[in-house]
Structure 1
C-alpha cells in the first residue's frame, strides 16, 4: 500500500522542512512507520513508544476499549531514553505533543497537542490514577497549567495519551488529548533513592551565567496480604535562566549597556535587563494505599502534598558614567510561597465478570498560594519597601464519578456508563503592602472570584459486529453553570466592584467509531465526535495586569462547540519488529475561545472572546522499528502537519492598519512537528539514545502580525537534539549521563528557553 507524503499536502511555497523533518521523512520512506495504538509488543526494555493495551474484558479500573488513537511510554523506556526531571518530561517524544517547560521546576508548563497550543491548557486533560491534574480553573499557560509536580517520575509505571474527543467517558476538554498517568503499586517490599544534577550555561542579550539544579527522590512500599502501600518524597532545588526581559523603546538618559533588538512585530526596542531569574525549592510527598476487602473489591486512598518556596530577581544591563548599575521602573522582584494538597478515594469492583463498577472522589486545592511583588524603586526595593500580595489560596477543584460496565456473554458487546460532577473555584485577591518581603495585607487593590460546576451523564456501547468489525457508539450530556462571579478593581482612589451574572449551558455530545480489521496486521478506524468545552472560571472572571496589558474578564462567554473526525490506518510489522500508523484528522470549532488584543476606550486590553469558526486539519504519522539493521537498535518517531485556520471572526478589531484575522493561522498551532528517537541497547547494561524534536514557528496573534520570531515575546521554530547514556551497574545500582539541547539552540517561545543542559543521575533500587 502506497501512503501519501505529508509534504504533498502542502502548497509548494510552504515546503521548507528542517533537517529533523527530513530525517523523519527518510525513515518513513523506508517503510518503518508504526502505529501508536493497539496491544503493546516486545520487551519493556526496548526504548520505544509502546501502545496502550486495549482489553475486551476486565474491570473498569483496567484499560477499557476506547476508540481514540493512542501513544504510550513505560517507566523502563523513560528511564533508558529520556532525561526526566518531572512527570511532564516523559511526554517529550510522543506524537504531536509538547510541554512548554521553561526551566527545571517550572510550575507553569501547559500541554500542547495536535490542534491546540501552549496557551490552551483547558483543551486537554491530564490525570494520575484517575485524579485530575489539569487545572481547569483557567485556559492559559499560567495558573491553568497541569499540576505535574503532584506526581514524581519515580512513581510512574506508564503514561498513555489518547487523541481526540471520541470517548464519552471524558468531558469536552478532551478534544486535544487525554493523558493518563498510572503509578506503580508494589507486590513485595521495595525501596529506591535517586539523586540527579543538572547544569545549564546560558548566554543571551547581555545576560549570561551557569544555572544548576539538584533533585533527590526516595520511595518505599510493600504489600502484605490485602494491604499494599507506596510512599514517595521528592526534593528539588533549582535555578533558572532569565525567564523575562525588561524592554523600552528608548535608552534611558545617561546610561550605557542597553541591547538593541526588535519586538515581535519588527519594531526596534532596547533590552535593559533580565527578569525573573528564579530560585525554586520544592518538596513533594505522596502516599497511596490500597486494600482488598475481597478478591473482587478494592479501596484505594491517595494523599499528596507539594510546597514551593521561590524567589525571582532581576539583572540590569545598564550602567551610568561612573560604572554603577542603574535600574528603571520596569525592574522588580517577587517571592512565592505555595502549598497544595491532593486527595482521592476510590472503591471499585474487579470481578471481570458480567458487571463491574467504580466510585471515585478527588480534590486538589491550594492551602496557601502567596506571591509578593516589589513595586518600590530599585535598588532599594530589593531589600523591602512597597509592594503587592496576590493571594490565590482556596483556588482548586473537586470531582465525583460513578461508573459501571456490563459485558455480554462472550464479550460481543460491552456497555459502560457513568455520572460525573465537578466544581472549580477561583479566588485571586491582590493587596497592597508597605513591605513586600514581610509586610501584612494593606488595602485591597483587585479581586477576581467565581465558581463553575458541571454535571454529566454518559454511556458507551462497544459492539463487535463480526470478528473483523467493531462499532463504538457513545454520548455525553452535560449541564454547566458559572456562579458567584465578582470583580473588584481600583483606579487611583476610585474602586469598582462588579457582581457578575450567573450563566448556564447544557448540551449533548454524541460519539461514533468503526474499526475494521482488514487482515491480522492491518487496522482502519474511522471516528467522529462532538465536544463541548465550557469556559473556565478564569476566562470568565479573572482580571489581571500583565506587562502593561490589561486582561479583562468576559463573563458572557459561550462554550466551544467542536466536531472532530479521524481516519487512522495502522499496521503491525512481523515478529514484533514494530508498527506504524497514519492518521488523517479534521477539527471544526464554533465559538472558539481565543484571547484577542483590542482597544477599549483609550487603553489596550487582551481578553478572551468567542471566535466564530476555526478549522484544523492535517495528517499525523508515527512509527516504531525494533532491531533495525542490528539487534538492539530501535528507531521511532513521528511527523505531524496541520493546516490551522480562522474561518470567521466577527469580534476582531484591527490594531494594525489593514490587518485581518480571517484566513490566518490559528494562534499557537505550528504547521509542522516531528520527533525522532534512535536507541541502541547492545546488552542488558548499556543503553545509548540520540533524540530530536522539531517544531515550526507559531503565531501568537489572531491576525498573525507577530512576524519577528527570534525575540523576547516571539515564537521561534526550533530543532533540538538530546542525548542520553544509561548504565545498569548491577541489579541495584544504575547511573546515567545526558544532554538536552545538544547543539545549544538559542530560541524563544515567548520566553527565552533553556540552552545546552547536562544531566547526571545515580539510582539505587533495593
Structure 2
C-alpha cells in the first residue's frame, strides 16, 4: 500500500513546479563554528551552521549529532556513544518534544513523524555518518513557509559530500569511559571504523561509504524501590543497595542498574549524481542502517551466600520489599533493527531567474524487533517466556516540488507543493523463549496512518534600500486513518475514528540593514503541528480494562515572535534576539482524570490550553580574540517557560514547562599553534529543569531527575600531512555527574586517526 501511494505521489510530483531550497547554504567561515545567516534575499529564518572542517578541528565527534552540541540554544539528549534515542531540544522546547523539530539529511526526513517523545520517536542521525557530512544548518523558529508545524522549534538540514575527483578516506576512533556510581564501577569502551570512496567521471559522480560502531554504554537506568513507611522483619534478609531520594524527595532504595547497552551498528551509504545539462542534476541517496543491541542488568543485592538477588520477598536494612519479576527484567533486551532510507532529487542551478527542485524521500523500518524477558533474572538470562515487539512496516515518505522566480521587479517569489504520509505498526507477541522462539499469540497491537498535503507561497520584497519584507502563507490538509488498538489482556479492540483538519499558517518578517555591519529584523509566524499517530492512539491500563484516552486530539497552534539585531565584521559577530512562543492546545503528557466518576489521576498526552516561552538569546564569536590565532564563540539563552492555562490539571498553571532550563550556555575557544596543531576547550551549561508539568520533582540529582550541569570538553587536533591527521579529546573533563532523567556519561577519553586522499 505504501509503494502505491508513493508511486501516485511521484507521478503528481513530476507535474508540479517549485522552489529551490529557500534555505540556501550559508557562507562558510574559515575558523569559527557559528557562521551567521546567508543572504537575506533567500531565507526567511535565522540560520546558524557548522561545517565539517571546523568540527574536525574543534569538536570531539563520533556521531553526527555531536556536531550540533555547541550551536546556540541546542541541546542533544545523547546518553552515550551510538545512542539511537537522542532527540534535540531548542530554545522553546525540551527533549521530550521531538516532533517540534524537523531534521533532514540530503532532503530525507530523519526526524520521526510518528511520535513526540525522546524514545521511539527520536531522530535517525545514523543514516548520515560524520565522515560523509559537509555541514549542518539550523533554522530557528517557524518563520519559513516551506516548512510545516514541525518547525516550531527548529529545522536541521544535514548536507553530505560529493567528490569532484577520485577520493578515498578512512578513519578509526576509540573511546573509553571509566564510570562509577552507586554499585557500578566499570570501564566502558567504544570503537568505530569508517571508510569511503568516490569519483567524478564526466557527468556522473558517486560516493560509497561504510561505518561500523561497537559501543557499550554506562547504565541507562537504575532499579529503585520505594522504601516502606514502617520497618519490618518480613522477607529474606539481603544486604546491599543504596539509600537515596526519588525526584519527589521520597526515600528509595537503589537496588541495581539496568539498560547497560552493547551495540553493534553498521551504516552503508551510496550517493550518486548525474548532470544532465549545465542546469539540471539528479541525485540519488540510499542508506541502510543495521543495529544489534543487547542490554543487561546487574543487582546490588546479595543473599547470605553472596549471590545476586533480582526478585522476591526481601528484607533490606530492616524494611520489607516485594521485588517483582519484571523490575530488573524490563532493563534487559535483544533489539535488532534494519532501516532503509532513500532520497531522490532533481534540481536546477540556484542562480537562474527560474529555479526548480523536486525531492522524494522514503524511510522504512524493514525489520525492527525487540525481545524482552518476562520472567525473573538470573534464570531469564538463558531463556524463558517473554515478549517480542515488532515495528516492521513502520515508516514515512515525503514529496516536495519547489520553485523560485527572480524576474518580478524587486520580488523573489518562491512556492511549493508538499505531501507526506506516515504509517505506524506495532505488534506485541507472547513467546515461549524470549531469546530464540518464534512469535506466539498477539497480546497487543496498535497501528495508524497520517498524511498531509500542503501548498505554500513566499515573497521576499526589497521594497526600499536596505529593507526587505518577507511574507509567506502555508495551507495544509491533514488526516489520520486506518487506526486500531487491540489488547488481549485487559481486553480491547477499537477501530479509531478518521480525523481530518485544514489549517492556514501565515508568516511575516521585516529586515533592515541601517549600516553595512548591522542587521535588524522582526519576525512573526503561525505554525500548527498535527498530532502524531502515537499521541492519538495511546492506551492506558485502568484497573481491569484498557482505555484510549483521546483519539481526537487537536493540533498545536504556535504563535512565534522574534526581534533580533546582529553586528558583524570579518573578525567578529554579535547577535541579540528576543523571542516568544505562545502555544494553544499544546500536546503534553500530564496527569489528569480519565475514567468518569473516578478520582484517580492517569498520565497521558492531552491538549494543554496554553503555554508560553519567552526569553533572550545572545550569540558571540571572534576570530583572533585578544591574541592572534585564538578563536572564540559562545551563546547564552534565557527562557521563561510556563504553563499559562490548564483546565484539566490546575496544579500545572503557572509552573515551569518540563525539560526547559531557564539558562543554557555554550562556549568554545580554539588556539591554533601554527598551521598543523589546534587546541580547543569548550563548555556546555544548563541549570536544573523539571520533568513534571506541575514542577513536583523537587530533587533533580537522582535517577529520573533533571540536573543542572557544567561540562567541560577539550580536544587537540594535529594535521600530520596533507593526508593524515590525529586527534585526542576528553569529554566531561571536570567529571560532572548528572542526570537528565538517565545518568549521563562521566569523563570519557577519545583518540582518532583519519586519512583522506
Q: Normalising to structure 1: TM-score of the pair?
A: 0.90
Q: Aligned residue for 2:256?
A: 273
Tell whether 2:217 aligns with 1:240.
yes
Deviation (angstroms), 1:214: 0.3
Q: Aligned residue for 1:225?
A: 202
- CA–CA distance in structure 1, aligned partners of residues 49 and 76 of structure 2: 16
Q: 1:463 aligns with which of 447, 461, 464?
A: 461
Deviation (angstroms), 1:556: 0.9
Q: How does 1:136-175 map to 2 (within 5 A)?
A: 136-175=113-152
Q: Aligned residue for 1:364?
A: 363
Tell whether 2:610 aligns with 1:613.
yes
Q: Aligned residue for 1:49?
A: 34
Tell whether 2:310 aligns with 1:311.
no
Tell whether 2:257 aligns with 1:258.
no
Deviation (angstroms), 1:724: 0.3
- CA–CA distance in structure 1, aligned partners of residues 492 and 302 of structure 2: 41
Q: Aligned residue for 1:119?
A: 96
Q: Aligned residue for 2:319?
A: none
Deviation (angstroms), 1:424: 0.7
Q: Aligned residue for 2:167?
A: 190
1:706-757 Cα deviation digits (max 9, x unpaired)? 1110000111010000000000000111000000000110000000000000
Tell whether 2:401 aligns with 1:402.
yes
Contact kept, 8 Å, 2:219 with 2:260, in 1: the verdict is yes
SS of residue paired to 2:700:
coil
SS of residue paired to 2:249:
coil
Contact kept, 8 Å, 2:38 with 2:47, in 1: the verdict is no
Q: 1:82 aligns with which of 55, 59, 62?
A: 59
Deviation (angstroms), 1:550: 9.2
Q: How does 1:385-534 map to 2 (within 5 A)?
A: 385-408=384-407, 412-491=410-489, 495-534=491-530
Tell whether 2:596 aligns with 1:596.
no
SS of residue paired to 2:111:
coil
1:160-192 Cα deviation digits (max 9, x unpaired)? 101000000011110100111111111101111
- CA–CA distance in structure 2, aligned partners of residues 684 and 570 of structure 1: 31
Tell whether 2:556 aligns with 1:564.
no
1:171-221 Cα deviation digits (max 9, x unpaired)? 111010011111111110111110000000111111111100000010111
Q: Aligned residue for 2:10?
A: none
Q: Aligned residue for 2:577?
A: 583
1:29-79 Cα deviation digits (max 9, x unpaired)? xxxxxxx9996465x2x14322353374xxxxxxxx112121111111100
Q: Aligned residue for 1:17?
A: none
- CA–CA distance in structure 1, aligned partners of residues 546 and 655 of structure 2: 24
Q: Aligned residue for 1:749?
A: 740
SS of residue paired to 1:173:
helix
SS of residue paired to 1:364:
strand
Contact kept, 8 Å, 2:481 with 2:499, in 1: the verdict is yes
Q: Aligned residue for 1:728?
A: 719
- CA–CA distance in structure 2, aligned partners of residues 462 and 754 of structure 1: 46
SS of residue paired to 1:482:
strand
SS of residue paired to 2:126:
helix
Q: Aligned residue for 1:555?
A: 551
Deviation (angstroms), 1:105: 0.9
1:235-285 Cα deviation digits (max 9, x unpaired)? 000000000111112496411101111111000010110001110000001
1:390-420 Cα deviation digits (max 9, x unpaired)? 001111100011111111267x211000000
- CA–CA distance in structure 2, aligned partners of residues 463 and 478 of structure 1: 24
- CA–CA distance in structure 1, aligned partners of residues 261 and 512 of structure 2: 52
- CA–CA distance in structure 2, aligned partners of residues 552 and 298 of structure 1: 49
Q: Aligned residue for 1:26?
A: none
Deviation (angstroms), 1:545: 8.2
1:520-565 Cα deviation digits (max 9, x unpaired)? 001100000100011111111144789xx99965311000001101
1:284-340 Cα deviation digits (max 9, x unpaired)? 011110101111111111101000001001000000112111112211121001000
- CA–CA distance in structure 2, aligned partners of residues 507 and 53 of structure 1: 30
Q: Aligned residue for 1:690?
A: 681
Contact kept, 8 Å, 2:622 with 2:633, in 1: the verdict is yes
Deviation (angstroms), 1:702: 1.1
Tell whether 2:278 aligns with 1:295.
yes
SS of residue paired to 2:53:
helix
Tell whether 2:641 aligns with 1:644.
yes
Q: How does 1:707-726 map to 2 (within 5 A)?
A: 707-726=698-717
Change (3 A) 1:185 1:544: farther
1:441-498 Cα deviation digits (max 9, x unpaired)? 112111111011000000000111122101100000000011111111233xx52111
Change (3 A) 1:550 1:287: farther
Tell whether 2:303 aligns with 1:320.
yes
- CA–CA distance in structure 2, aligned partners of residues 699 and 550 of structure 1: 29
Deviation (angstroms), 1:599: 5.3
Contact kept, 8 Å, 1:37 with 1:69, in 2: the verdict is no
Contact kept, 8 Å, 1:672 with 1:695, in 2: the verdict is yes
- CA–CA distance in structure 2, aligned partners of residues 651 and 399 of structure 1: 36
Tell whether 2:693 aligns with 1:702.
yes
Contact kept, 8 Å, 1:259 with 1:271, in 2: the verdict is yes
- CA–CA distance in structure 2, aligned partners of residues 373 and 704 of structure 1: 33
SS of residue paired to 2:238:
coil
SS of residue paired to 1:103:
coil
Q: 1:66 aligns with which of 33, 39, 43?
A: 43
Contact kept, 8 Å, 1:551 with 1:605, in 2: the verdict is no
- CA–CA distance in structure 2, aligned partners of residues 588 and 725 of structure 1: 43
Contact kept, 8 Å, 1:264 with 1:706, in 2: the verdict is yes
SS of residue paired to 2:673:
coil
- CA–CA distance in structure 2, aligned partners of residues 700 and 191 of structure 1: 46
- CA–CA distance in structure 1, aligned partners of residues 367 and 66 of structure 2: 26
Q: Aligned residue for 2:672?
A: 681
- CA–CA distance in structure 1, aligned partners of residues 39 and 547 of structure 2: 44
Q: Aligned residue for 1:656?
A: none
Change (3 A) 1:180 1:544: farther
Contact kept, 8 Å, 2:399 with 2:419, in 1: the verdict is yes
CA RMSD, 1 decimal: 1.9
Deviation (angstroms), 1:361: 0.7
SS of residue paired to 1:382:
helix
- CA–CA distance in structure 2, aligned partners of residues 67 and 674 of structure 1: 25
Contact kept, 8 Å, 1:47 with 1:81, in 2: the verdict is no
- CA–CA distance in structure 2, aligned partners of residues 617 and 253 of structure 1: 54
1:84-120 Cα deviation digits (max 9, x unpaired)? 1111100000000011011111100011000000000
Tell whether 2:608 aligns with 1:628.
no
Q: 1:109 aligns with which of 78, 86, 89?
A: 86
Q: Aligned residue for 1:32?
A: none
Q: Aligned residue for 1:348?
A: 347
- CA–CA distance in structure 1, aligned partners of residues 658 and 696 of structure 2: 11
